[in-house]
Every structure is written in C-alpha cells, then in structure tokens.
Amino acid sequence: MLRKCARYLVLAIGMMLVTGAHAQTMSELTYKRLSKIHELIGEEQYAEGLERLDKLVASVRRNAYEHAMVLQTYGFIWAQRGDYGKAASYFQQAIDLGALPDAQVEQMKYSLGQFHVAVEEYREGIKVLNAYIKSAKTPVPPEAYVLLATAYAQLSQYRNALPPLSKAISESKDPKEPWFQLKLAMHYELKDYSNSAKTLLEMVARFPVKKDYWKQLSGMFLELSKEQDALAILALAERQGMLDESKELINLTNLFMFVDIPYKAGQTLRAAMQDGQVPKTADNYELLANAWLSAKEFDLAINALEQAAKTTDDGELVLRLAYLYVEKEAWSKVIPTLEKARKLGVDKPGDTALLQGIAATELGDHDAAIKAFSVAMKYEDTKSQAAAWLQHAMGERAAANES
C-alpha cells in the first residue's frame, strides 16, 4: 500500500511539472532537472535519481518551493526503496518549509502517517493522521481511518481504535473484510461480547460463505448465554453445508442436547455418522445413545450402545447396555453383557450380581438366580433388593419342583 501511494505521488508531482504549474515558483533549469529525476523514478533507477538530487539540492536552498519539491522527491525515492523512516524525514522537512500547495501537503501528511506506522512509530503516526483528518479539505479515504485505528490497536488503545474504524466501514461503499476482522478483534479484546456478536452478524451477512464467522457468532451467543440463538446460527450453517468436520457436527449435536432437543441431536449425529462425516467410534456411538435416551427412544439407544460395545474397553458403557436390556426385558442378552462388563473391569459386584439374578429369574433358571442373589446380598447397596428377589426366586423354584 505504501509503495502504491508513493507511485501515486510521483505521478501527481510529474503531472504538476509537465503542466507548467512550476512556472511562477520554479526556474526552468530546476524544472528540467527535477523532471529528469522523476523520469528515473518511473524507470526505477533510484540510485541515479538520488545522485542527481544530491547535486540539485544545494542549488535550490534559497527557493523554498524548489527546496520543498526536492525534499519531497527524496521522500518518494526512499519510500520506493522501502526505507519509510527516511521517507518520513524528508516529507516532514518538505512540509515544514510551508511552500507547497495545500492539496499537495494534505496528501503528503497522509503518506507521512503511513510511513510512521510502517516503521512502528505508532504514536507519531496517530498524531500525524489525526492532524491530517482534522485539516483535510478533500474527502478523507476510508483507508486513512483504518490506518489510524490500526495504529491505536498496536498500542492496545482499543477504545480509541473503534471510532475511526467504524467510520471507515460506514463511509465506504465497499468496506473490506479485514476491517471487520479488526473491529471484531477490538470488541473481543475489550470483552464486549454484545458488540462482538453485532459485528459478527454483519460479517455473516456480508461474507455468508465464510463458515468461521458462523461458528464464531454461535460461540459468541453462547458466551452471552443465548443458547437458542447459538443453536439457530449453527443449525443454519449446517443446513448450508458449512459444517463438514467431525468436531463441528459433534458440537452441533451437543448444542441440541444442551437446549433440550435430544431427538434432533440424535438425528444430526446419526446422519453424520452414516455419511462418514463423523467416525463410528465407541465414544460417538455413546453420545448418540445419550441423545436417544434423552429422547426416550430406547430401541435406538440400545442399537447405538450395541455398536459402541463392539469396540469399547469401557466396562461402564457395557454395563449401561445391560441396564437397557433389563429395561426392555431382553433377558437373554443381559447375562452375556454383564460377563463382558466384568471382563472389562467393572467393579460393581453387587449391581452385576443383582442384574444377573433378575435375568436368570425371568429366564426360569432359578438355581442360577438364587446363586446370583446370594452374592448380591453380600453388598450393602444391593442387600435389601437381593433379599426380596432371592425370596421370590426360591418360591419360583419350589413351585416349579412341585409341578
């Protein structure tokens, strides 16, 4: 941007030279020499241009306008060569002579501000840019306000950065995406999550294909405890095909669960797993089962836990499956599932023995049931239930023997 600006100024001064604007204040000899130097700048022959300036500068010191033009030209060359510190020094000297036209000085002040910011002289850059904006007779370009905001931001003066940045956005016909990103960063640094959300809403509207903005907006609504809004934004992004990563779809599933829409959570995760967007791991099947359980879809929950149990080494998960089999009265599946849970290290002997006894009772294996209940009675947590079931099992066995 600085090099582009320098080229623009070179072109502008060149036009001044060839239109005869020099006639009243610049000698013909100086005009010709300076014109040649600007030709060299246009051809990127900067070293030769500097040599010629060094020879010219001594002869123009008594003419303030000529001197200012030469100093300005020094600044052009150093800006083109990327030495913005030197460029700033020459521009300031040219301005201080007070001999240049107002429009030319105005443009130089803007460039001077750019140079100071480029060399990280942010305080000086802020001073120069504010003075330029205050005194400008022509419309200030939005980029000048953005530059000022950037300088404030570099000094962590975020509140000072926001007004010029907002002005740049509001006055520009086509505000640039980085401007919104900077504004968002300022609000976030200030922990102003409400205005962060407002900025993200505008970013989503202007740049709707950028999925990161949708995700950030959803996260910002969560920060503001607006869970329903967070879900609405993320769900809309998913419907537009923007959530194609496993983590994103799992986050959406969890958000559906958080706002108590478990059936939609189950639908979302199941579809993602079927499409291969979310891997079919034990953890993900367990999450799916949790969604179906919360939605009271027990058959679907059992199916999900069965898939998880095939590869898991989590005995607690397998024990949960056994409980669901009991709930659904799938007695023949209870006992082998309990055995697998024990092999995986479940340390709940009373609970597993009680469940095994209940399943055995329902299957008519009274001896196995009595044995299991006798074990369950050894543990305080299951003692009372096991005693009742034991009495029931013994009665069932007696009745069977009598028949």
Question: Does residue 391 fall inside a structural domain?
Answer: yes
User: Domain for residue 301, yes or no?
Assistant: yes
Residue entry with tokens 């922990």: 191
Residues 353 and 387 in one domain: yes
Instruction: Give the tens place of pLDDT for each residue, 267-299.
Output: 999 999 999 999 999 999 999 999 999 999 999
237, 257: one domain? no
Q: Do 394 and 337 have their domain in common?
A: yes
What pLDDT is attached to residue 401?
83
Decide if 306 is inside a domain: yes
pLDDT of residue 109: 94
Match 């370009």 to its residue by tokens.
141
Distance, in Å, from the CA atom of 140 to the CA atom of 119, rounded to the nearest integer, reads 22
**Do 347 and 392 have their domain in common?**
yes
Choose the final residue of a domain: 210, 225, 241.
241
Say how far apart CA 282 and CA 1 lie, in whole Å: 53
pLDDT at 283: 95
Please tell me the pTM assigned to this model.
0.80
- Give the DSSP letter string of 205-257: HHSTT-HHHHHHHHHHHHHTT-HHHHHHHHHHHHHTT---SHHHHHHHHHHHH
Write the CATH number for 369.
1.25.40
Domain stops at, among 259, 279, 312: 312
Nearest to 395 by CA among 361, 371, 368, 372: 361
User: What's the average model confidence in pLDDT over 2-9?
Assistant: 48
Which of 241, 263, 280 is a domain's end point?
Answer: 241
| Average pLDDT taken over every residue of the chain | 91
Residues of the domain holding 367: 333-402
Longest dimension (CA), the chain: 134
The answer as to whether 367 is a domain residue is yes
Average pLDDT on 348-374 reads 95
The verdict on residue 60 lying in a domain is no
Position 9 scores a pLDDT of 47
Task: Give domain status of residue 116, yes or no.
Answer: no
Q: Both 352 and 381 in a single domain? A: yes
pLDDT tens sequence across 43-93: 989 999 999 999 999 899 989 999 999 999 999 999 999 999 999 999 999
How many structural domains compose the chain? 3
Whether 233 and 254 map to the same domain: the answer is no
What average pLDDT score do residues 142-159 get?
A: 97
Q: Is residue 23 part of a domain?
A: no
Whether 19 is covered by a domain: the verdict is no
Domain shared by 249 and 296, yes or no: yes
Residues 364 and 396 in one domain: yes
> Domain with 258 in it: what CATH number?
1.25.40.10
Structure confidence at residue 2 as a pLDDT band (50, 70, 90)? low
Reading the block at residue 183, the tokens are 């504004």
* 212 or 5, which is more confident: 212
Mean pLDDT, residues 209-229:
96
In this prediction, residue 133 carries a pLDDT of 96
Q: Round to whole Å and give the CA distance between 378 and 386.
A: 9
Residues 220 and 257 placed together within one structural domain of the fold: no
What does the pLDDT average to over 144-156?
98
Structure tokens at 348: 């709940």
250 in the same domain as 211: no
What is the CA angle 351-379-313, rounded to 5?
35
